């Protein structure tokens, strides 16, 4: 059995797995489940500090991103795509497939988007229906300041769509204060439930824009409007994945009770980065580090494939490579959700000590020992 230390999917705790084994009712007909669903959605909203409605959709996190674009985009709409990473740029595909005209705002992928420079850009060019941006772009680990960027877009009445799949509950998010219209999350990252669910928060402004469309939404499953009136009518647009939602609720209940969750992510993220650099390894980013994933460059004389294979085969620990131009160039350690615990991180760092040594990489100190010193937990 592998220890999953990837940046999603993450480890799933036993009580979450057991919650998914609850006796199933018929979610289409049993009104008690409609209440349960609504209560779970309201819990997500509270945890994200918003009065906006949340919807849980039956599909992996990508569904939420596509549904946001499908529901907002009409042919010819200008859409601003903030791009400093693989998933940031990836919004171009969703915008284009529904007839929108994407305009990329592309910046250095080793640093977060600068709010001052972005504000200057918007002063000259702000005729957009909506904008997309990624909070944590997982392939590089970059963290963008949505609390600064989204209010800038709000000043011009631009609806905001934020991908927070990899940051939600590992980084602080205050939806209402940050003026976020649509926020998208997923079950398999810091929530630490199995893959299969996405959830979105919807502002009144986003709902109004969808309602005032001149053309029908060119999707059914990716249409956020099909949930309108579900609670009043006690009727879902499609059969909800009840067992997955039971598991999600168990994971969310634990998050609600964990007052140290964000602080723990911050401590582990900082200690991981410092241990790697103190040992002589190089982080991929220059700034803007997320506390949910650490990305370091593959040392010379070895390859990402060798490191990942030895970690898997000799230590039964799964780490991740990356995507796009970073494929084969970096290694990613996922310390989000259930992965963000001191024991598993110390074991992971110790395994990296062993693997890198066997591959002929000389470190200036022990990763495990340095990590434990920095955390004072091991």
Q: What is the pLDDT of residues 326-357, one digit of tens each?
A: 999 999 999 999 999 999 999 999 999 999 99
The pLDDT value recorded for residue 1 is: 87
As a whole number of angstroms, the distance between CA 312 and CA 93 comes to: 34
The pLDDT value recorded for residue 83 is: 98
Q: Which residue stretches of the chain have pLDDT < 70?
A: 377-378
The pLDDT value recorded for residue 59 is: 97
For the chain, how big is the Rg over CA atoms in Å?
21
217-248, pLDDT tens digit by residue?
999 999 999 999 999 999 999 999 999 999 99
As a whole number of angstroms, the distance between CA 62 and CA 42 comes to: 22
Contact between 98 and 70 under an 8 Å Cβ cutoff? The reply is: yes
As a whole number of angstroms, the distance between CA 154 and CA 131 comes to: 10
The pLDDT value recorded for residue 376 is: 85
Burial of 115 (0-12, 13-18, 19+ CB in 10 A): middle
SS3 call for 186: strand
Extract the tokens encoding 133.
Answer: 């941006």
As a whole number of angstroms, the distance between CA 129 and CA 159 comes to: 6
Give how far Cα 231 sits from Cα of 33, 34, 196, 263, 319, Å.
Answer: 11, 7, 22, 36, 41
Rounded (10°) CA dihedral 257, 263, 55, 41:
10
Conformational region of residue 16, where left means phi above 0, alpha means psi within -120 to 50, and beta covers everything else? alpha
Rounded (10°) CA dihedral 12, 14, 18, 20:
0
Neighbours of 282 (CB within 10 A): 11
Contact between 151 and 180 under an 8 Å Cβ cutoff? The reply is: no
pTM (predicted TM-score): 0.96
Residue with tokens 């390894």: 281
Residue count (the chain): 378
Residues 6+ apart with CB under 8 A from 106: 83, 84, 89
Q: Where are the alpha helices (DSSP H) in the chain?
A: 14-19, 31-47, 61-72, 86-97, 115-124, 146-154, 204-211, 230-233, 242-257, 261-278, 304-315, 342-358, 367-375
The pLDDT value recorded for residue 378 is: 59
Give how far Cα 308 sits from Cα of 11, 71, 138, 305, 362, Å.
Answer: 18, 39, 17, 5, 18
The pLDDT value recorded for residue 377 is: 66
SS3 call for 78: strand
Contact between 97 and 253 under an 8 Å Cβ cutoff? The reply is: no
């Amino acid at each position: 059995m592998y220890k999953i230390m990837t940046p999603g999917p993450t480890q799933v705790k036993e009580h979450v797995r057991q919650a998914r084994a609850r006796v199933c009712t018929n979610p289409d007909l049993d009104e008690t489940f409609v209440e349960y669903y609504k209560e779970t959605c309201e819990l997500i909203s509270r945890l994200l500090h918003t009065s906006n409605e949340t919807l849980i959709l039956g599909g992996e996190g990508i569904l939420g991103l596509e549904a946001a674009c499908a529901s907002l985009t009409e042919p010819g709409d200008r859409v601003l795509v903030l791009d400093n990473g693989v998933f940031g740029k990836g919004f171009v595909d969703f915008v284009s497939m529904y007839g929108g005209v994407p305009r990329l705002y592309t910046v250095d992928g080793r640093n977060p988007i600068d709010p001052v420079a972005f504000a200057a850009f918007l002063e000259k060019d702000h005729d957009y229906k909506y904008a997309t941006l990624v909070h944590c772009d997982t392939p590089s680990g970059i963290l963008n300041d949505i609390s600064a960027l989204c209010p800038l877009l709000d000043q011009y009445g631009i609806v905001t769509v934020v991908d927070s799949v990899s940051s939600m509950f590992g980084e602080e998010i205050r939806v209402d204060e940050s003026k976020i219209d649509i926020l998208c999350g997923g079950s398999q990252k810091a929530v630490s439930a199995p893959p299969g669910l996405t959830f979105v928060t919807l502002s009144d402004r986003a709902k109004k824009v969808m309602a005032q469309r001149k053309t029908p939404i060119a999707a059914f499953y990716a249409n956020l409007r099909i949930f309108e009136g579900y609670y009043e009518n006690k009727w879902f647009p499609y059969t909800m994945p009840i067992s997955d939602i039971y598991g999600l609720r168990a994971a969310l209940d634990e998050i609600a009770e964990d007052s140290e969750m964000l602080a723990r992510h911050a401590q582990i993220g900082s200690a991981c980065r410092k241990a790697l650099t103190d040992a002589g390894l190089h982080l991929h980013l220059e700034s803007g580090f997320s506390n949910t994933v650490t990305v370091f460059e593959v040392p010379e004389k070895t390859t990402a494939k060798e490191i990942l294979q030895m970690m898997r085969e000799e230590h039964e620990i799964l780490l991740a490579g990356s995507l796009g131009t970073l494929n084969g160039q970096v290694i990613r350690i996922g310390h989000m959700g259930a992965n963000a615990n001191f024991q598993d991180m110390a074991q992971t760092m110790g395994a990296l000590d062993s693997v890198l040594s066997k591959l002929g990489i000389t470190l200036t100190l022990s990763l495990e020992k340095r990590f434990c010193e920095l955390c004072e937990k091991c």
